[in-house]
Amino acid sequence: MSTADITSTEVFEPADLGAQLLALIEGGDETAALEFARLLHPADLGAAVASLDTGLRELVLREFEPDELAEVLEFLDPHYRDLLLADLAPEHLAQILPTVTDDIATDVVQELTVSDAVQVVSDMPAASQESIRELVRYAPDTAAGRMTGQHLSVPGNATVEQAIEILRQVPTERRAPTIYVTSEEEKLVGVLNIRALLISASETAVADVAEESVAVAADMDQEDAARLLKQYNVPMLPVVDAEGRVLGTVTADDLLHVLEEEVTEDMFLLAGVNEEEDLESVSRSVRYRLPWLYANLLTVLLAAWVVSLFEGTLERVAVLAAFLPVVAAQGGNAGIQTVTVVIRSLALGRITPRDTLRIVRHEFATGVITGLVSAITVGIVAWLWQDNAWLGGLIAIAVTVDVLIGVVAGVLIPIALNALRQDPAVSAGIWLTTVTDVSGFAVYLGMASLLVTRL
Protein backbone atom coordinates (compact mmCIF):
# COMPACT_ATOMS: atom_id res chain seq x y z
CA MET A 1 0.00 0.00 0.00
CA SER A 2 1.35 3.37 -0.92
CA THR A 3 1.06 5.98 1.76
CA ALA A 4 2.20 8.89 -0.38
CA ASP A 5 -0.39 11.61 -0.98
CA ILE A 6 -2.77 9.85 1.30
CA THR A 7 -3.83 13.02 3.02
CA SER A 8 -5.79 15.34 0.81
CA THR A 9 -7.01 18.20 2.92
CA GLU A 10 -8.77 20.37 0.40
CA VAL A 11 -11.64 20.12 -2.03
CA PHE A 12 -10.24 20.14 -5.51
CA GLU A 13 -11.87 22.56 -7.89
CA PRO A 14 -12.75 20.35 -10.86
CA ALA A 15 -12.34 23.31 -13.22
CA ASP A 16 -8.74 23.80 -12.00
CA LEU A 17 -7.78 20.18 -12.61
CA GLY A 18 -9.58 20.39 -15.94
CA ALA A 19 -7.48 23.46 -16.82
CA GLN A 20 -4.26 21.63 -15.92
CA LEU A 21 -5.33 18.67 -18.02
CA LEU A 22 -6.27 21.00 -20.85
CA ALA A 23 -2.90 22.76 -20.72
CA LEU A 24 -1.11 19.41 -21.06
CA ILE A 25 -3.33 18.32 -23.96
CA GLU A 26 -3.01 21.65 -25.76
CA GLY A 27 0.74 21.58 -25.17
CA GLY A 28 0.57 18.50 -27.44
CA ASP A 29 1.92 16.20 -24.75
CA GLU A 30 -0.81 13.55 -24.71
CA THR A 31 1.33 11.07 -22.81
CA ALA A 32 1.92 13.58 -20.02
CA ALA A 33 -1.80 14.42 -20.01
CA LEU A 34 -2.75 10.77 -19.59
CA GLU A 35 -0.10 10.26 -16.93
CA PHE A 36 -1.45 13.26 -15.03
CA ALA A 37 -4.99 11.93 -15.43
CA ARG A 38 -4.05 8.50 -14.08
CA LEU A 39 -2.46 10.06 -10.99
CA LEU A 40 -5.75 11.64 -9.98
CA HIS A 41 -8.36 10.04 -7.79
CA PRO A 42 -11.10 8.74 -10.13
CA ALA A 43 -13.58 11.20 -8.60
CA ASP A 44 -11.32 14.15 -9.40
CA LEU A 45 -10.39 12.78 -12.80
CA GLY A 46 -14.03 12.45 -13.78
CA ALA A 47 -14.87 15.99 -12.77
CA ALA A 48 -11.77 17.30 -14.55
CA VAL A 49 -12.62 15.48 -17.78
CA ALA A 50 -16.27 16.54 -17.57
CA SER A 51 -15.22 20.18 -17.36
CA LEU A 52 -13.44 19.95 -20.74
CA ASP A 53 -15.18 20.81 -24.00
CA THR A 54 -16.84 17.98 -25.92
CA GLY A 55 -14.08 17.34 -28.47
CA LEU A 56 -11.32 17.17 -25.87
CA ARG A 57 -13.46 14.99 -23.64
CA GLU A 58 -13.76 12.40 -26.40
CA LEU A 59 -10.01 12.57 -26.95
CA VAL A 60 -9.34 11.68 -23.32
CA LEU A 61 -12.15 9.13 -22.99
CA ARG A 62 -10.85 7.17 -25.98
CA GLU A 63 -7.59 6.51 -24.16
CA PHE A 64 -9.13 4.97 -21.05
CA GLU A 65 -9.80 1.28 -20.47
CA PRO A 66 -13.39 0.28 -19.59
CA ASP A 67 -12.42 -0.52 -15.99
CA GLU A 68 -10.80 2.89 -15.60
CA LEU A 69 -13.96 4.56 -16.86
CA ALA A 70 -16.06 2.36 -14.57
CA GLU A 71 -14.09 3.63 -11.59
CA VAL A 72 -14.63 7.21 -12.70
CA LEU A 73 -18.39 6.70 -13.08
CA GLU A 74 -18.59 5.12 -9.66
CA PHE A 75 -17.50 8.32 -7.98
CA LEU A 76 -18.94 10.98 -10.14
CA ASP A 77 -21.45 13.64 -9.14
CA PRO A 78 -24.55 12.97 -11.31
CA HIS A 79 -24.18 16.42 -12.89
CA TYR A 80 -20.72 15.55 -14.19
CA ARG A 81 -21.68 11.93 -14.89
CA ASP A 82 -24.37 13.02 -17.33
CA LEU A 83 -21.90 15.33 -19.08
CA LEU A 84 -19.36 12.52 -19.45
CA LEU A 85 -21.88 9.96 -20.65
CA ALA A 86 -23.19 12.25 -23.35
CA ASP A 87 -20.04 11.39 -25.35
CA LEU A 88 -20.06 7.61 -25.02
CA ALA A 89 -21.43 5.26 -27.66
CA PRO A 90 -23.85 2.55 -26.43
CA GLU A 91 -21.33 -0.24 -27.27
CA HIS A 92 -18.75 1.51 -25.16
CA LEU A 93 -21.22 1.92 -22.28
CA ALA A 94 -22.18 -1.75 -22.40
CA GLN A 95 -18.51 -2.61 -21.78
CA ILE A 96 -18.26 -0.27 -18.82
CA LEU A 97 -21.50 -0.77 -16.94
CA PRO A 98 -21.07 -4.41 -15.83
CA THR A 99 -18.13 -3.34 -13.64
CA VAL A 100 -20.00 -0.43 -12.06
CA THR A 101 -22.07 -0.83 -8.86
CA ASP A 102 -25.62 -1.84 -9.73
CA ASP A 103 -27.32 1.32 -8.41
CA ILE A 104 -25.09 3.59 -10.46
CA ALA A 105 -25.42 1.40 -13.57
CA THR A 106 -29.20 1.61 -13.14
CA ASP A 107 -29.13 5.38 -12.79
CA VAL A 108 -27.10 5.58 -15.99
CA VAL A 109 -29.47 3.27 -17.89
CA GLN A 110 -32.47 5.29 -16.70
CA GLU A 111 -30.94 8.43 -18.21
CA LEU A 112 -30.65 6.83 -21.68
CA THR A 113 -33.20 6.89 -24.47
CA VAL A 114 -35.26 3.70 -24.64
CA SER A 115 -33.46 2.41 -27.73
CA ASP A 116 -30.00 3.09 -26.27
CA ALA A 117 -31.06 1.48 -22.97
CA VAL A 118 -32.24 -1.70 -24.70
CA GLN A 119 -29.04 -1.86 -26.74
CA VAL A 120 -26.77 -1.30 -23.76
CA VAL A 121 -28.52 -3.76 -21.46
CA SER A 122 -28.78 -6.54 -24.02
CA ASP A 123 -25.03 -6.27 -24.66
CA MET A 124 -24.30 -6.90 -20.97
CA PRO A 125 -23.54 -10.30 -19.33
CA ALA A 126 -26.62 -12.16 -18.04
CA ALA A 127 -25.89 -11.55 -14.33
CA SER A 128 -25.59 -7.78 -14.81
CA GLN A 129 -28.74 -7.75 -16.96
CA GLU A 130 -30.57 -9.49 -14.13
CA SER A 131 -29.64 -6.98 -11.43
CA ILE A 132 -30.33 -3.97 -13.63
CA ARG A 133 -33.69 -5.39 -14.72
CA GLU A 134 -34.50 -5.76 -11.03
CA LEU A 135 -33.57 -2.18 -10.11
CA VAL A 136 -34.78 -0.39 -13.22
CA ARG A 137 -38.38 -1.15 -12.24
CA TYR A 138 -38.24 1.45 -9.48
CA ALA A 139 -38.65 5.15 -10.19
CA PRO A 140 -35.30 6.91 -9.71
CA ASP A 141 -36.69 9.25 -7.05
CA THR A 142 -37.85 6.49 -4.69
CA ALA A 143 -35.96 4.68 -1.94
CA ALA A 144 -35.72 1.59 -4.17
CA GLY A 145 -34.52 3.75 -7.04
CA ARG A 146 -31.67 5.01 -4.84
CA MET A 147 -30.75 1.72 -3.18
CA THR A 148 -28.01 -0.70 -4.01
CA GLY A 149 -29.34 -4.22 -4.42
CA GLN A 150 -26.07 -5.78 -3.29
CA HIS A 151 -26.67 -7.29 0.13
CA LEU A 152 -26.46 -10.62 1.90
CA SER A 153 -29.23 -12.44 3.73
CA VAL A 154 -28.71 -15.14 6.36
CA PRO A 155 -31.46 -17.06 8.15
CA GLY A 156 -31.88 -16.27 11.86
CA ASN A 157 -30.81 -19.74 12.98
CA ALA A 158 -27.46 -19.57 11.17
CA THR A 159 -24.41 -19.29 13.43
CA VAL A 160 -21.90 -16.46 13.56
CA GLU A 161 -19.36 -18.81 12.00
CA GLN A 162 -21.67 -19.52 9.06
CA ALA A 163 -22.31 -15.82 8.53
CA ILE A 164 -18.56 -15.13 8.44
CA GLU A 165 -18.17 -17.92 5.90
CA ILE A 166 -20.85 -16.33 3.67
CA LEU A 167 -19.12 -12.98 3.97
CA ARG A 168 -15.80 -14.55 3.02
CA GLN A 169 -17.23 -15.94 -0.20
CA VAL A 170 -18.53 -12.73 -1.74
CA PRO A 171 -16.05 -10.88 -3.92
CA THR A 172 -14.31 -7.93 -2.27
CA GLU A 173 -15.86 -4.68 -3.36
CA ARG A 174 -15.20 -1.10 -2.58
CA ARG A 175 -17.88 -1.21 0.07
CA ALA A 176 -18.73 -4.12 2.35
CA PRO A 177 -22.25 -5.49 1.73
CA THR A 178 -24.83 -5.17 4.52
CA ILE A 179 -25.89 -8.51 6.01
CA TYR A 180 -29.55 -8.93 6.88
CA VAL A 181 -31.05 -11.64 9.05
CA THR A 182 -34.28 -12.88 7.50
CA SER A 183 -37.12 -15.18 8.53
CA GLU A 184 -38.20 -18.33 6.67
CA GLU A 185 -40.54 -16.18 4.54
CA GLU A 186 -37.49 -14.03 3.72
CA LYS A 187 -38.87 -11.18 5.80
CA LEU A 188 -36.46 -8.76 7.44
CA VAL A 189 -35.69 -9.72 11.04
CA GLY A 190 -32.65 -7.55 11.77
CA VAL A 191 -29.30 -6.20 10.65
CA LEU A 192 -25.98 -7.89 11.36
CA ASN A 193 -23.27 -5.54 12.52
CA ILE A 194 -19.98 -6.94 11.18
CA ARG A 195 -18.30 -5.93 14.42
CA ALA A 196 -20.79 -8.06 16.35
CA LEU A 197 -19.74 -11.05 14.19
CA LEU A 198 -16.13 -10.33 14.99
CA ILE A 199 -16.51 -10.26 18.76
CA SER A 200 -19.17 -12.97 19.25
CA ALA A 201 -18.58 -16.66 19.89
CA SER A 202 -18.68 -18.54 16.60
CA GLU A 203 -21.55 -20.86 17.59
CA THR A 204 -23.92 -17.99 18.56
CA ALA A 205 -27.10 -17.76 16.45
CA VAL A 206 -27.04 -14.63 14.29
CA ALA A 207 -30.59 -13.78 15.45
CA ASP A 208 -29.13 -13.18 18.91
CA VAL A 209 -26.56 -10.62 17.73
CA ALA A 210 -28.67 -8.93 15.04
CA GLU A 211 -30.02 -5.47 15.70
CA GLU A 212 -33.53 -4.19 15.10
CA SER A 213 -33.89 -1.64 12.35
CA VAL A 214 -36.62 0.43 10.87
CA ALA A 215 -37.02 -0.20 7.15
CA VAL A 216 -38.19 1.96 4.29
CA ALA A 217 -40.81 0.94 1.74
CA ALA A 218 -39.54 0.50 -1.82
CA ASP A 219 -41.79 3.27 -3.13
CA MET A 220 -41.04 5.78 -0.38
CA ASP A 221 -40.00 9.12 -1.83
CA GLN A 222 -36.19 9.53 -1.73
CA GLU A 223 -36.62 12.77 0.19
CA ASP A 224 -38.65 11.03 2.91
CA ALA A 225 -36.04 8.27 3.04
CA ALA A 226 -33.31 10.87 3.53
CA ARG A 227 -35.33 12.54 6.29
CA LEU A 228 -35.80 9.15 7.97
CA LEU A 229 -32.03 8.49 7.94
CA LYS A 230 -31.53 11.96 9.38
CA GLN A 231 -34.22 11.55 12.02
CA TYR A 232 -32.89 8.16 13.12
CA ASN A 233 -29.31 9.30 12.71
CA VAL A 234 -28.19 6.10 10.97
CA PRO A 235 -25.78 5.59 8.06
CA MET A 236 -28.04 3.17 6.16
CA LEU A 237 -31.48 1.56 6.17
CA PRO A 238 -32.88 -1.60 4.55
CA VAL A 239 -35.43 -1.21 1.73
CA VAL A 240 -38.30 -3.73 1.82
CA ASP A 241 -41.18 -4.65 -0.48
CA ALA A 242 -44.85 -4.72 0.55
CA GLU A 243 -44.34 -8.19 2.10
CA GLY A 244 -41.39 -7.00 4.21
CA ARG A 245 -38.78 -8.81 2.10
CA VAL A 246 -35.42 -7.06 1.84
CA LEU A 247 -34.70 -5.59 -1.59
CA GLY A 248 -31.55 -3.61 -0.86
CA THR A 249 -29.99 -0.80 1.16
CA VAL A 250 -30.10 2.99 1.00
CA THR A 251 -27.09 4.79 2.47
CA ALA A 252 -26.68 8.32 3.78
CA ASP A 253 -23.90 9.09 1.31
CA ASP A 254 -26.12 8.14 -1.64
CA LEU A 255 -28.78 10.51 -0.31
CA LEU A 256 -26.44 13.40 0.55
CA HIS A 257 -27.62 15.37 -2.46
CA VAL A 258 -31.34 14.57 -2.19
CA LEU A 259 -32.29 17.11 0.46
CA GLU A 260 -30.08 19.71 -1.19
CA GLU A 261 -31.76 19.11 -4.53
CA GLU A 262 -35.20 19.42 -3.02
CA VAL A 263 -34.50 22.85 -1.47
CA THR A 264 -32.77 23.94 -4.66
CA GLU A 265 -35.90 22.96 -6.56
CA ASP A 266 -38.07 25.10 -4.26
CA MET A 267 -35.63 27.98 -4.48
CA PHE A 268 -35.54 27.79 -8.27
CA LEU A 269 -39.31 27.36 -8.65
CA LEU A 270 -39.91 30.42 -6.46
CA ALA A 271 -37.74 32.46 -8.82
CA GLY A 272 -39.28 30.87 -11.91
CA VAL A 273 -36.30 28.81 -13.04
CA ASN A 274 -35.91 25.08 -13.47
CA GLU A 275 -33.52 23.08 -11.29
CA GLU A 276 -32.04 21.55 -14.44
CA GLU A 277 -30.80 24.96 -15.60
CA ASP A 278 -27.06 24.80 -16.11
CA LEU A 279 -26.22 27.91 -18.10
CA GLU A 280 -25.28 25.65 -21.03
CA SER A 281 -28.25 25.60 -23.41
CA VAL A 282 -30.03 28.82 -24.38
CA SER A 283 -33.05 27.00 -25.81
CA ARG A 284 -33.49 25.08 -22.55
CA SER A 285 -33.18 28.28 -20.49
CA VAL A 286 -35.78 30.00 -22.67
CA ARG A 287 -38.15 27.04 -22.47
CA TYR A 288 -37.86 26.88 -18.69
CA ARG A 289 -38.04 30.60 -17.96
CA LEU A 290 -40.52 31.99 -20.47
CA PRO A 291 -43.71 30.43 -19.01
CA TRP A 292 -43.08 32.02 -15.65
CA LEU A 293 -42.20 35.42 -17.14
CA TYR A 294 -45.34 35.18 -19.25
CA ALA A 295 -47.57 34.30 -16.28
CA ASN A 296 -46.14 37.26 -14.41
CA LEU A 297 -46.71 39.48 -17.42
CA LEU A 298 -50.42 38.64 -17.46
CA THR A 299 -50.82 39.42 -13.77
CA VAL A 300 -48.91 42.70 -14.02
CA LEU A 301 -51.12 43.69 -16.97
CA LEU A 302 -54.07 43.19 -14.64
CA ALA A 303 -52.36 45.60 -12.23
CA ALA A 304 -51.83 48.05 -15.13
CA TRP A 305 -55.56 47.92 -15.85
CA VAL A 306 -56.30 48.80 -12.21
CA VAL A 307 -53.96 51.80 -12.48
CA SER A 308 -55.63 52.90 -15.75
CA LEU A 309 -58.99 53.12 -13.94
CA PHE A 310 -57.54 56.10 -12.09
CA GLU A 311 -56.22 57.92 -15.16
CA GLY A 312 -58.22 61.04 -14.26
CA THR A 313 -56.66 61.23 -10.81
CA LEU A 314 -53.17 60.63 -12.21
CA GLU A 315 -53.64 63.38 -14.78
CA ARG A 316 -54.43 65.86 -12.00
CA VAL A 317 -51.67 64.65 -9.63
CA ALA A 318 -48.94 63.13 -11.78
CA VAL A 319 -46.53 62.69 -8.87
CA LEU A 320 -48.80 59.92 -7.55
CA ALA A 321 -47.25 57.75 -10.27
CA ALA A 322 -43.84 58.03 -8.64
CA PHE A 323 -45.04 56.15 -5.56
CA LEU A 324 -46.75 53.29 -7.41
CA PRO A 325 -43.54 51.18 -7.43
CA VAL A 326 -42.98 51.95 -3.73
CA VAL A 327 -46.38 50.63 -2.65
CA ALA A 328 -46.11 47.53 -4.86
CA ALA A 329 -42.51 46.76 -3.78
CA GLN A 330 -43.12 46.95 -0.02
CA GLY A 331 -46.25 44.77 -0.16
CA GLY A 332 -44.66 42.30 -2.57
CA ASN A 333 -41.36 42.05 -0.69
CA ALA A 334 -42.99 41.56 2.72
CA GLY A 335 -45.26 38.93 1.18
CA ILE A 336 -42.38 37.04 -0.46
CA GLN A 337 -40.55 36.89 2.87
CA THR A 338 -43.61 35.20 4.36
CA VAL A 339 -44.11 32.88 1.37
CA THR A 340 -40.49 31.73 1.59
CA VAL A 341 -40.65 30.83 5.28
CA VAL A 342 -44.06 29.15 4.93
CA ILE A 343 -43.00 27.06 1.91
CA ARG A 344 -39.90 25.75 3.72
CA SER A 345 -41.84 25.04 6.89
CA LEU A 346 -44.43 23.10 4.88
CA ALA A 347 -41.70 21.15 3.05
CA LEU A 348 -40.03 20.23 6.34
CA GLY A 349 -43.36 19.17 7.86
CA ARG A 350 -42.90 21.72 10.63
CA ILE A 351 -46.30 23.26 9.99
CA THR A 352 -49.59 21.80 8.77
CA PRO A 353 -52.86 23.44 7.67
CA ARG A 354 -53.98 23.23 11.32
CA ASP A 355 -51.37 25.88 12.14
CA THR A 356 -52.82 28.40 9.67
CA LEU A 357 -54.49 30.63 12.24
CA ARG A 358 -51.42 30.71 14.49
CA ILE A 359 -49.17 31.65 11.57
CA VAL A 360 -51.55 34.28 10.23
CA ARG A 361 -51.50 35.84 13.70
CA HIS A 362 -47.69 35.73 13.79
CA GLU A 363 -47.36 37.25 10.33
CA PHE A 364 -50.00 39.89 10.97
CA ALA A 365 -48.17 41.00 14.12
CA THR A 366 -44.85 41.03 12.23
CA GLY A 367 -46.48 42.91 9.34
CA VAL A 368 -47.98 45.56 11.61
CA ILE A 369 -44.49 46.44 12.88
CA THR A 370 -42.52 46.16 9.63
CA GLY A 371 -45.38 47.81 7.70
CA LEU A 372 -45.66 50.76 10.06
CA VAL A 373 -41.91 51.36 10.21
CA SER A 374 -41.65 51.37 6.39
CA ALA A 375 -44.85 53.39 6.08
CA ILE A 376 -43.77 56.11 8.48
CA THR A 377 -40.43 56.42 6.70
CA VAL A 378 -41.90 56.64 3.23
CA GLY A 379 -44.72 58.92 4.48
CA ILE A 380 -42.26 61.40 5.93
CA VAL A 381 -40.12 61.30 2.79
CA ALA A 382 -43.18 61.96 0.60
CA TRP A 383 -44.46 64.73 2.87
CA LEU A 384 -41.15 66.61 2.99
CA TRP A 385 -40.31 66.01 -0.66
CA GLN A 386 -43.68 67.10 -2.10
CA ASP A 387 -44.45 69.42 0.84
CA ASN A 388 -47.87 67.80 1.24
CA ALA A 389 -48.84 66.08 4.49
CA TRP A 390 -51.96 64.57 2.90
CA LEU A 391 -49.82 62.83 0.29
CA GLY A 392 -47.46 61.54 2.97
CA GLY A 393 -50.33 60.17 5.06
CA LEU A 394 -51.99 58.60 2.04
CA ILE A 395 -48.84 56.77 0.96
CA ALA A 396 -48.12 55.64 4.52
CA ILE A 397 -51.59 54.11 4.83
CA ALA A 398 -51.31 52.42 1.41
CA VAL A 399 -47.93 50.89 2.31
CA THR A 400 -49.16 49.61 5.69
CA VAL A 401 -52.30 48.07 4.17
CA ASP A 402 -50.37 46.46 1.32
CA VAL A 403 -47.75 44.99 3.67
CA LEU A 404 -50.52 43.48 5.80
CA ILE A 405 -52.28 42.10 2.72
CA GLY A 406 -48.91 40.73 1.56
CA VAL A 407 -48.06 38.87 4.77
CA VAL A 408 -51.54 37.40 5.23
CA ALA A 409 -51.74 36.32 1.56
CA GLY A 410 -48.18 35.02 2.01
CA VAL A 411 -49.50 32.50 4.55
CA LEU A 412 -52.82 31.64 2.92
CA ILE A 413 -51.66 31.17 -0.68
CA PRO A 414 -48.99 28.47 -0.08
CA ILE A 415 -51.14 26.67 2.50
CA ALA A 416 -54.12 26.68 0.10
CA LEU A 417 -51.97 25.45 -2.82
CA ASN A 418 -50.57 22.73 -0.57
CA ALA A 419 -54.08 21.67 0.48
CA LEU A 420 -55.01 21.51 -3.23
CA ARG A 421 -52.00 19.17 -3.67
CA GLN A 422 -50.16 21.74 -5.80
CA ASP A 423 -46.48 22.47 -5.19
CA PRO A 424 -46.68 25.92 -3.58
CA ALA A 425 -43.22 26.89 -4.84
CA VAL A 426 -44.42 26.78 -8.46
CA SER A 427 -46.99 29.56 -8.36
CA ALA A 428 -47.24 31.08 -4.88
CA GLY A 429 -45.01 34.00 -5.88
CA ILE A 430 -47.12 34.80 -8.94
CA TRP A 431 -50.41 34.70 -7.03
CA LEU A 432 -48.88 36.76 -4.26
CA THR A 433 -47.66 39.63 -6.43
CA THR A 434 -51.00 39.65 -8.24
CA VAL A 435 -52.75 40.17 -4.91
CA THR A 436 -50.29 42.77 -3.59
CA ASP A 437 -50.08 44.74 -6.86
CA VAL A 438 -53.81 44.86 -7.53
CA SER A 439 -54.92 45.58 -3.98
CA GLY A 440 -52.03 47.96 -3.30
CA PHE A 441 -52.77 50.07 -6.39
CA ALA A 442 -56.54 50.00 -5.74
CA VAL A 443 -56.15 51.15 -2.14
CA TYR A 444 -53.53 53.79 -2.98
CA LEU A 445 -55.20 55.32 -6.02
CA GLY A 446 -58.73 54.81 -4.64
CA MET A 447 -57.87 56.88 -1.57
CA ALA A 448 -56.03 59.40 -3.75
CA SER A 449 -59.20 59.87 -5.85
CA LEU A 450 -61.17 60.71 -2.73
CA LEU A 451 -58.52 63.15 -1.51
CA VAL A 452 -57.59 64.53 -4.93
CA THR A 453 -58.43 68.14 -3.99
CA ARG A 454 -55.98 67.98 -1.09
CA LEU A 455 -53.04 66.62 -3.09
Sites for its own copies among residues 312-331 (CB under 8 A): 312, 314-315, 318-326, 328-330
Using CB under 8 A, which residues numbered 29 to 68 contact its own copies? 41, 43-44, 47
DSSP state letters, 239-261? EE-TTSBEEEEEETGGGHHHHHH
DSSP class per residue in 17-36: HHHHHHHHHHTT-HHHHHHH
- What CA–CA distance (Å, rounded) separates 181 from 192? 7
- Name which position in 64, 138, 180, 292 contacts its own copies (CB under 8 A): 292
Residues whose CB is less than 8 angstroms from the CB of residue 63 and which lie 6 or more positions away in sequence, other chains included: 30, 34
Q: For residue 236, what are the β-bridge partners? A: 251
CB of 37 or CB of 117, closer to its own copies: 37
Cβ 194 to its own copies, closest distance in Å?
A: 5
Query: Residue 421 Cβ, how far from its own copies at the closest point, in Å?
Result: 17
Quote the CA–CA distance of 320 and 325 in Å, as a whole number: 10
Residue 150 burial (10 A CB sphere; 0-12, 13-18, 19+): middle
Identify which of residues 27 and 325 has a Cβ nearer to its own copies in the complex: 325
- Picking from 373, 446, 362, 371, the residue whose alpha carbon sits closest to that of residue 403 is 371
How far apart are CB 275 and its own copies at their closest, in Å?
A: 9
Member of 112, 158, 164, 451 binding its own copies (CB under 8 A) = 164
β pairing state of 246-251 and 188-192: unpaired
Q: Which of 114, 201, 279, 420 binds its own copies (CB under 8 A)?
A: 279
The residue among 16 and 65 lying less far from its own copies, judged by its C-beta, is 16
Q: Which is nearer to its own copies, 121 or 250 (CB)?
A: 250
Sheet strand arrangement including 188-192? 151-155, 178-182, 188-192
Contact with its own copies (CB under 8 A) among 32, 139, 259, 426? 259
The verdict on 431 binding its own copies (CB under 8 A) reads no
Q: Whole-number minimum distance, CB 291 to its own copies, in Å? A: 10
Is residue 79 involved in binding its own copies (CB under 8 A)?
yes
Is residue 307 within the footprint of its own copies (CB under 8 A)? yes
Residue 274 φ then ψ, to 5°: -100, 140
Least CB distance from residue 119 to its own copies, whole Å?
27
Counting residues that bind its own copies (by CB under 8 A) gives 148
Site string for its own copies, 228-257 (x = CB under 8 A): xxxxxxxxx---x---x------xxxxxxx
Q: What angle do CA 41, 42, 45 make, to 5 degrees?
A: 85
Can you give the length of the chain in residues?
455
| 15 near its own copies, rule: CB under 8 A | yes
**Is residue 450 a contact residue for its own copies (CB under 8 A)?**
no
